[in-house]
Structure 1
């Protein structure tokens, strides 16, 4: 329109009373205990809460691998087995998304504990290390997470 100037955003628009602080979002991996993992201002600057967040991410990643276990015998009720299989898939996807959101903090510690949780979980639940028979039977109640 004639006579109207293009309005550039002023710093006051972004630093108004609604915003208490501006935290820089990392776009590359970094080392440090000041991170935001899953929730705003959590764990904050407290090193103990950072440790708690690392334990939480480890447990989420570990539990996501629990779905590699077999919970039903081959001749069980197929309807109940399919509902349980769907429930396990829902849990696995939800846990994996939570781990992915935690990884979006780009904190190297969070990344390492997520990989460690998935690794230990797969070793205990997905690998055949603790199985007595060597038959190539189905190792999980749900299909793999691949397309």
Structure 2
């Protein structure tokens, strides 16, 4: 008996070995490569962040993806702690500006969250760093500008 499982090397005909070759067919199917999504944190540059096949296997594109996530997280903090509306401005316009700012902040925060769903450890660290540095520059006492009035920033703090 040939127990070689189709790997060759066995002797000739009449054996009961199994062939691993696909059966002959008149139709051909094209197989798309399957993408594997990690369900736990992993460390590596070969991942998909936000878009199909991006950044792929290029270390330069991975660095660009990390920079993008950092900037978006930093912008979330900037939008959360910056005053765009002057006190005493038209309430209707101020309300529209607040709504647009809220839309931008939530949209960017969701974008960071989606990037984190790649489960890439580098993306996690860079997103946390972006939020931390954004908070340091725009909300901590290190760079606090004294307000003439006791008004809050344009947008209330985000809460889950």
TM-score by length of 1: 0.82
Count the aligned residue pairs: 131
Partner of residue 13, structure 1: none
Partner of residue 48, structure 1: 60
CA contact (8 A) 2:138 2:144 kept: no
- CA offsets 1:5-31 (integer angstroms, 9 cap, x no match): xxxxxxxxxxx63x5111221111010
| Structure 1 outlier segments of 4+, above 6 Å | none
Superposed displacement of residue 133, structure 1: 2.6
CA contact (8 A) 1:99 1:114 kept: yes
Q: Per the alignment, in what secondary structure is the counterpart of residue 129 of structure 1?
A: helix
Q: Please point out which of 89, 100, 105 is paired with 2:118.
A: 105
Unaligned runs of 5+ in 2: 1-28
Task: From the CA coordinates, give the structure whose radius of gyration is larger.
Answer: 2
CA contact (8 A) 2:116 2:123 kept: yes
Which structure has more RCO (C-alpha within 8 Å, separation ≥ 6)? 1
Partner of residue 25, structure 1: 37
Unaligned runs of 5+ in 1: 1-15
**CA 1:83/1:96 → structure 2, altered by over 3 Å: closer, same or farther?**
same
| Aligned equivalents of 1:129, 1:75: Cα separation in 2 | 28
Q: Please tell me the root mean square deviation across aligned C-alpha atoms, in Å.
A: 1.8
**CA 1:144/1:80 → structure 2, altered by over 3 Å: closer, same or farther?**
same
